Structure 1
Amino acid sequence: MTPLKLLVVEDDTASLELMTEVFTYLKAEVRPVSDSEKAAGMIDQEKFDGIFLDLEMPKLNGFELARVIRKSSWNKSTPIIIVTGRDERQTMQEAFALGATFFLQKPVDRQKLTILFRTVSGGMLENRRKSIRVPLQTEVTCTVGSRTIRGISWNLSQGGMQVEVSDLHVKDTVRLSFRLPVSGVSIDVTGTVAWAGESRQGIQFTTLSPPTQQSIREYIAAVEKD
């Protein structure tokens, strides 16, 4: 299994080195960063399985960086772990409101970090599975309101698909119908246009029945196995 890829953003050198050492020992691939502005640039360039943020940092603080993460195309659903010496209830509420997944109280030590990693790694792996995309080129019928448009798909994940369909716009609600190769299973889902380029669009699924979820999951697993 590919190691979990973690971004650790911490301006305190000792804490950054400790987290890097512990997570590396636990078989994670760690990107340690002490500059929050540099981290903001990385967030829009590559996908991470988990992001650890110090709250008190110069330039962008943890709250501001969390906002950047949740608006990014690559990491908007990536688990965020806030690491801070502040323990006020208001701080925790604000962190969770911004999309934080977990909250770790400083000072940190090896035991705390090990327990936390083992607690959050399952959720990180599940989030990774949802974001895995596999090639899928098949005819897709899109229904937007009273309009029916035909196009083709380019790839598929558990959470959405990339398509090439004319006249789709960001935030459009779309009904997609297509067949999975080999099995011939008919898929009928509802989604929202998350982004739209010159020729391709990204659709985020919003409504999937359990059987449909299972069919897509099995298809992705079969393609990955091959």
Structure 2
Amino acid sequence: MPDKKRILVVDDDADIVLMIQRILEKSGFEVARTTEGAEAIRMIEQESYDLILLDIMMPGIDGFEVARSVRRNEKGVRPPVVFVTARDDSESMREGFRSGGTVFLAKPFTASQLLRIVNAMLNR
């Protein structure tokens, strides 16, 4: 049986993190989670992930900076970054793509929308 895909979920709203975790684990994914950008960067430096789901608006280190750190990862592992955010204005999207994001998923979203994007990113 193939290894479970590992997904890192980063959002300062713990309720959203738990909701996403439940959806993903129910679908067979292994999930790591944090509510802080700085902790996300440490986790990315220490572990490998197949996909990162990342909020933009977080206190301290925001999602754009976390995405940039993924691009700079010295291990050479650069998983796709999906921004899961309420910010869907064109400037945020431009900055997200410049910082290394692959796709935007606008909040609020359904479980099926989340899983469609996750599966598409993992099967590229």
**Structure 1 residue 85, shift from structure 2 partner:** 0.4
SS at match of 2:123: helix
Residues 13 and 48 of structure 1, relative CA distance in 2, 3 Å threshold:
same
Alpha-carbon RMSD: 1.3
Residues 102 and 92 of structure 1, relative CA distance in 2, 3 Å threshold:
same
The aligned residue for residue 52 of structure 2 is: 51
Moved over 3 A (4+): none
Residues 20 and 75 of structure 1, relative CA distance in 2, 3 Å threshold:
farther
**More strand, by proportion:** 1
Q: TM-score, normalised by structure 2?
A: 0.92
Cα deviations by residue, 1:87-111 (Å, 9 ceiling, x for unpaired): 1111111111111111111112312
Q: TM-score, normalised by structure 1?
A: 0.52
The aligned residue for residue 38 of structure 2 is: 37
**Structure 1 residue 44, shift from structure 2 partner:** 0.8
SS at match of 2:54: strand
**More helix, by proportion:** 2
Unmatched segments (≥5 aa) in structure 2? none
How does 1:177-188 map onto structure 2 within 5 Å?
none
CA distance in 1, matches of 2:75, 2:19: 27
CA distance in 1, matches of 2:46, 2:78: 15
**Structure 1 residue 75, shift from structure 2 partner:** 5.7
Residues 76 and 2 of structure 1, relative CA distance in 2, 3 Å threshold:
closer
Contact 1:69 1:75 in 2 (8 A): no
**Structure 1 residue 11, shift from structure 2 partner:** 0.9
The aligned residue for residue 62 of structure 1 is: 63
Unmatched segments (≥5 aa) in structure 1? 124-226
**Structure 1 residue 51, shift from structure 2 partner:** 0.7
